[in-house]
Structure 1
Amino acid sequence: MRLVLSLVMLFISMVQATAQDAAGCKDHPLLSRYPGAVLQWCEEQNHVEYAIARGPVTGYKRIDQWTEVRGKRTRLYYSIQGTTSIRDLYLNHQAALKRAGATILAEGQEDKATSKEVGGRTFLGVHYGRNEAPPSAGIRLLQGSATSGGSFYLAGTLNDKGTTVHLIIAGSQYTSEEKVLFVDIIEEVGVDTDKVKVNAEWMKLQIERYGKVAINDILFDTDKATIQAASMPVVGEVAKLMGLMPELRVHVVGHTDMSGSLEHNLDLSKRRAAEVVRVLTTDHAVAATRMEAHGVGPLAPVSTNKSDAGRQLNRRVELVAR
């Protein structure tokens, strides 16, 4: 049985979908809807890259803290009529995530529409600037009166039967009688031996957009610099990337979680990066002069080290354009 997040207090049953829901839309199995909410728009896509904002706005349309993930994305947009407050919506969703055992990546609720803090509308504008919805969706999350009743943002990660799932929930008051809720659910896609899902084209897009790409799917034997056989197809995709971008030179940077001593992890991460370079050079004829191996251990985490899901995100290899 899949885990269902209850968004109401204990013993209150979930309200069923009504005929007002958009055609073809339904709730995600992991998330029950808030009572009275109407599902007005939905979208489902595979192999989508998504950036989770994890800190406040620090400059013009700038947030410094992000976690980048990739997988199957489900988007759900709800309208809630009535006197329910944004604060109530925020607290219900926050409690639901925590009851489900989710690791909270970011959370915040702000009354001021111009707030740059996590949960403020300015913050939401930057976050959804990187994760845009099509104009035809009619999303009103960033609209409404400047004196409206505020907005909120929650981002959490949990494990569902071995699949890492990220839930991003944002809400705002559009009018005094209508609140809107935007839910993104990303189910991470890993490597299997039949089909490489982290491919060269996707890496190229990340390099062009952000100057780097984080790869969580190059897996190593525990506490060693030996690349697992199942991950070799991903290394092959890196080689294809270097072929697609013949002028590209990269820092290959190894990252670990916080397990073990700092000195050990710094050494381990560099050895792992060096092994990636070695395989690319010897097995795929990528010129060694195009790559430099570095290791930063646990010093640049993208998630918490207090959960398996967070540690999994932190263990990665990054290619940084130079």
Structure 2
Amino acid sequence: MNSMIGTIGRIAALALALAAAAPAAAADIKGAKDYPGIKRFDGASIVSYSTQRFVRYTLPLGPADELDASGEKPVFTGSKEVSGALTRLSYTAPAGVSSDDVFENYQNELAAKGYQVLFKADGAEIGKNQGAIFAGIETQLFEYSPEAAHFLTAELIKDGATIDIALYVTEYEDGYAPHVEVEKGQTIVQLDVIESGTLQDKMVTVSAAEIGKGLAAQGHIALYGITFDFAKSDLKPDSKPALDQVAQFLKDDPSLKIHVVGHTDNVGGMETNLTLSRARAAAVVAALVEQYGVSASRLNPAGVGPLAPVAPNDSDEDRAKNRRVELIPQ
């Protein structure tokens, strides 16, 4: 009996030792989740997470050697413009793990999933303004190590959708972020994922909260759930869910005034499209005033026709991205 008790005790002690040796579960911020199909480094934690239904994104294809006229945004020696739904993630890797190790794991993960690397650089080759590529995420004021840095952009085309990513892996040196605990030398991962193609269907109804986030982040937000018949300005019945959310957003912030801007593709003449875009914006304003009781003084209808595209007008899919209503704070 004593022998059996001793054996049980040894087994229990071994189980406790194994449990203590196992890596702790990642402590993610509330509501955060990995992008489907891109596995995080083992033991890493999500410390910043955001999504946007539609953005225009400059995907680097060369070093960040210059800054634009504002002195804040990087200018790359090569790049391409993509648009779609953005998922932005920031991870901290377990202390003691090098950026080399983390980056190699991500390269293997992306290669296994079929991503094609568009641009890859290490250290100073990323560009002298590499720190500006992911500046300002969640009010982060990080100083990264350019010597320990690794960067790549990659693309996956699958099931009618295109997924582009920008990945930056480096080590923390200095700075401050109120909601992020990070140690000097700890590896940080910044990951942007931009989805386009069939994902347009996911961008239809934007919630009132998402409208507010989009305006705060970009200064405007595109709405694709407000629809019209071809070459007409009459609102379709399926526009109601999107209008409900716009009205709720305006109700939540009764002091805000907005421009309601109509956009078209380039099918048809310039003047025709300008007139149509203005009429569609006016129809949205009329619906918000008459059906939801929003004061007309808070709404300014405008139309720019095909003059502000977010995609080329050379396919049905891309023309659909250009046909939209945007909200812009006055």
Q: TM-score, normalised by structure 1?
A: 0.59
How far apart are the structure 1 equivalents of 2:256 and 2:34?
43
1:115 corresponds to which of 120, 128, 141: 128
Any gaps of 5 or more consecutive residues in structure 2?
Answer: 1-21, 173-185
How far apart are the structure 2 equivalents of 1:267 and 1:40?
52
The answer to whether 1:190 aligns with 2:182 is: no
Which residue identity lines up with residue 300 of structure 1 in the other structure? A
Percent identity between matched residues is 26
Tell me by how many angstroms 1:115 deviates: 2.8
Tell me by how many angstroms 1:261 deviates: 4.3
The answer to whether 1:169 aligns with 2:173 is: no
The answer to whether 1:40 aligns with 2:44 is: yes
How far apart are the structure 1 equivalents of 2:38 and 2:263?
32
Change (3 A) 1:214 1:75: same
The answer to whether 1:224 aligns with 2:228 is: no
The answer to whether 1:124 aligns with 2:123 is: no
- For the 8 Å contact 2:134–2:190, the answer to whether it is kept is no
Tell me by how many angstroms 1:276 deviates: 0.9
Which residue identity lines up with residue 168 of structure 2 in the other structure? G
Change (3 A) 1:159 1:219: farther
Which residue identity lines up with residue 170 of structure 1 in the other structure? L
How many residues were matched structurally?
A: 273
Which residue identity lines up with residue 132 of structure 2 in the other structure? T
Change (3 A) 1:75 1:143: closer
Change (3 A) 1:243 1:41: closer
How far apart are the structure 2 equivalents of 1:151 and 1:222?
48
- For the 8 Å contact 2:43–2:93, the answer to whether it is kept is yes
Q: State the superposition RMSD in angstroms.
A: 5.1
Aligned to 1:143: 144
Q: Per-residue CA shift, 1:11-38, capped at 9, x if unaligned? A: xxxxxxxx879659997554478xxx65
- For the 8 Å contact 1:74–1:184, the answer to whether it is kept is yes
User: For 2:254, what is the secondary structure of its paired residue?
Assistant: coil
Aligned to 2:300: 292
Tell me by how many angstroms 1:156 deviates: 5.9
User: For 1:124, what is the secondary structure of its paired residue?
Assistant: coil
Q: Per-residue CA shift, 1:184-237, capped at 9, x if unaligned? A: 44666434xxxx6422x3323444555433323223334432333222121122
Q: Per-residue CA shift, 1:235-270, capped at 9, x if unaligned? A: 122222333333333221112334454444323322
User: For 1:280, what is the secondary structure of its paired residue?
Assistant: helix
Higher helix share: 2
Task: Please identify the structure whose Cα radius of gyration is greater.
Answer: 2
Aligned to 2:18: none
Aligned to 2:58: 54
